[in-house]
Amino acid sequence: MDRISYQFYEFMHLALAPARAITDAMLHSIKNPLHPLNHTTFGRNIAASAELFERMTRRYGKPLFGLDTTIVEGEEVPIIEEIIWRRPFCGLLHFKRQFKESPPKQSKLLIVAPMSGHYATLLRGTVEAFLPTHDVYITDWNDARSVALPDGGFDLDDYIDYLIDMMRCLSANQDGIALHTLGVCQASVPLICAIAHLETKQDPDAPASMILMGGPIDTRVNPTAVNKLAEQRGIEWFQRHCIHTVPFPNAAMGRHVYPGFLQLSGFMAMNIERHVSAHLDMFNHLIEGDGDNAEKHREFYDEYLAVMDLTEEFYLQTVERIFIKHEVPLGLFRHRGALVDLKAIHRVGLLTVEGEKDDISGVGQTEAALTLCANIPIDRKKHYLQNSVGHYGVFNGSRFREFIAPQICEFTKTIEETQM
């Protein structure tokens, strides 16, 4: 039964298509200023109901970053997006700033977005915060549902290989400009392993620093409900209940994946009362004509409900090796058969960032990297705990912009000064 859930999901989506089309047409009709119901309470109720039905039954596509300009040293600078490196499961997206004259000499920042069900656009606020101070790049992961079987699979080894290639592509050896790396949530693990690989080989392409934010480096520390679930269920349960086959007509038909819609249902279930309340609030905002608050709801859920599939091999390896067997803190993690030695990291600076109220990666799980990377000099590693923020607030929101981002900028500056 579990194996046919994806097909049932596709069938239900298609079955509701006519109802969505009719509802959408009705919505646009009632919103017409000339419609007699447009300015009535009854009409607004119908329009609000129609919009909520359409939004709750649609499939949300990949959002846009929509970052067209930034301010650098008091000057407004246009931005264009360009893919400078591409593999089947990821593109390296560069937010190229279009300076009128010679650009200021600012270091490069590679943001490694988590491959955990949402698109890299979830880090729009993270990217935006660093555009004035860094030359920003981000890993733009592809939906496994869109990658055809002949393009091969994707697992943790591939993830680490991708990051190594990206760091070589952006290395200071290419242009003399320092490269810093920032791993968010799940991405912290492959990032630290990729850097350990480079350091073990004394590779000159290792970056100047790594910033790990809300990452599950050692989930034995202050385990959350997510961590406990993984240990209680065991990998066989996840393989039996979470893996499905991509159906026709998707490009990856036949590929085994952890579907995005399944992960989203889990996220929603964790805070179902909050999501129900948010949609009821939107319904009331629409009836009251409160366009600003309704638009904030649309913006948040357009991003939150846009999900992507993960390959079976990547998902199961992450659950088993990171959350169940704790291979990284126990020194058992292997990349392409070779043990990953975090003690080999000695040139790359390390900043760990956590949120006081993080219920995904508990306080202390990311900070554990400071102990594991024992050979990084004390003046090149630091921990920062932000009060009153949860998991999302570690990399987005007002406290991120006001407190965390400046800490990161100051750290990268300090690392560069110590290398001079």
| Residue 271 domain flag | no
Q: How confident is the model at residue 103 (pLDDT cuts 50, 70, 90)?
A: confident
**% of residues, the chain, pLDDT over 90:** 67
User: Residue 84, SS3?
Assistant: strand
Burial of 76 from C-beta contacts in 10 A (0-12 / 13-18 / 19+): exposed
Which of the pair, 376 or 8, is modelled with greater confidence? Answer: 376
| Residue 377 domain flag | yes
Give the per-residue pLDDT at 302. 74
| Residue 301 domain flag | no
Q: Are residues 2 and 35 in the same domain?
A: yes
Which of the pair, 140 or 100, is modelled with greater confidence? Answer: 140
Q: Return the structure tokens found at 46.
A: 């119908």
Contact 213, 360 (CB under 8 A): no
pLDDT beyond 60 at 329: yes
Q: Does this model's pTM top 0.95? A: no
Q: Return the structure tokens found at 398.
A: 């007002």
Total domains in the chain come to 2
Boundary (domain end) residue, out of 31, 59, 87? 59
Give the per-residue pLDDT at 267. 58
Q: Are residues 93 and 12 in the same domain?
A: no
- Those residues with Cβ within 8 angstroms of residue 279's Cβ, 6 or more apart along the chain or in another chain: 52, 56, 297
Give the per-residue pLDDT at 1. 41
Boundary (domain end) residue, out of 12, 40, 59? 59
Q: Are residues 50 and 177 in the same domain?
A: no
Q: How confident is the model at residue 93 (pLDDT cuts 50, 70, 90)?
A: very high
Q: Return the structure tokens found at 253.
A: 């038909």
Q: Are residues 116 and 221 in the same domain?
A: yes
Q: Are residues 5 and 90 in the same domain?
A: no
Q: Are residues 52 and 179 in the same domain?
A: no
Contact 56, 278 (CB under 8 A): no
Contact 106, 135 (CB under 8 A): yes
What is the CB-side half-sphere exposure of residue 386 using CA atoms within 13 A?
A: 28
Mean pLDDT of 30-45: 74
Q: Are residues 90 and 142 in the same domain?
A: yes
pLDDT beyond 90 at 132: yes
| Residue 255 domain flag | no
Check which CATH number belongs to the domain holding 103 and give it.
Answer: 3.40.50.1820
Give the per-residue pLDDT at 80. 97
CA dist., res. 172 & res. 106, Å (int): 12
Mean pLDDT of 125-138: 98
- Distinct helix (H) and strand (E) counts, the chain: 16, 14
pLDDT beyond 70 at 95: yes
Q: How confident is the model at residue 79 (pLDDT cuts 50, 70, 90)?
A: very high
| Residue 83 domain flag | yes
| Residue 259 domain flag | no
Where in the sequence is the domain holding 385, given as residue range(s)? 69-228+310-419
Output the DSSP codes for 371-419. Answer: HHSTTS-GGGEEEEEETT--TGGGTSSHHIIIIIHHHHHHHHHHHHHHH
pLDDT digits (tens, 9 = 90+) for 347-377: 999 999 999 999 999 999 999 999 999 999 9
User: Residue 11, SS3?
Assistant: helix
| Residue 64 domain flag | no
Residue type, 251: A
Output the DSSP codes for 196-265. Answer: HHHHHTT-TT--SEEEEES--S-TTSS--HHHHHHHHH-HHHHHHHH-EEPPTTSTTTT-EEE-HHHHHH
CA 272 vs CA 223, 266, 285: distances in Å: 22, 10, 20
User: Given the DSSP bridges, would you call strands 179-184 and 310-311 parallel, antiparallel or unpaired?
Assistant: unpaired
Q: Are residues 352 and 331 in the same domain?
A: yes
pLDDT beyond 60 at 320: yes
Q: How confident is the model at residue 380 (pLDDT cuts 50, 70, 90)?
A: very high
CA dist., res. 408 & res. 138, Å (int): 16
Q: Are residues 49 and 95 in the same domain?
A: no
Contact 167, 179 (CB under 8 A): yes
Q: Are residues 127 and 205 in the same domain?
A: yes
| Residue 282 domain flag | no
- Those residues with Cβ within 8 angstroms of residue 229's Cβ, 6 or more apart along the chain or in another chain: none
User: Given the DSSP bridges, would you call strands 135-141 and 108-112 parallel, antiparallel or unpaired?
Assistant: parallel
Q: Are residues 10 and 119 in the same domain?
A: no
CA dist., res. 74 & res. 95, Å (int): 18
List of long-range contacts for 387-393, beta carbons under 8 Å, 24+ apart: 387/356, 388/356, 388/357, 389/355, 389/356, 389/357, 389/358, 390/355, 390/357, 390/358, 390/359, 391/185, 391/214, 391/355, 391/358, 391/359, 391/360, 391/361, 393/355, 393/357
Q: What is the number of residues in the chain?
A: 420
pLDDT beyond 60 at 50: yes
Give the per-residue pLDDT at 151. 97
CA dist., res. 126 & res. 133, Å (int): 12
Boundary (domain end) residue, out of 40, 59, 78? 59
User: Residue 321, SS3?
Assistant: helix
User: Residue 302, SS3?
Assistant: helix
Give the per-residue pLDDT at 4. 56
- Averaged pLDDT score across all residues of the chain: 89
Q: Are residues 40 and 95 in the same domain?
A: no
Lowest mean pLDDT among 20-29, 222-231, 251-260, 278-287: 278-287
Output the DSSP codes for 168-195. Answer: HHH-HHHHS--EEEEEEGGGHHHHHHHH
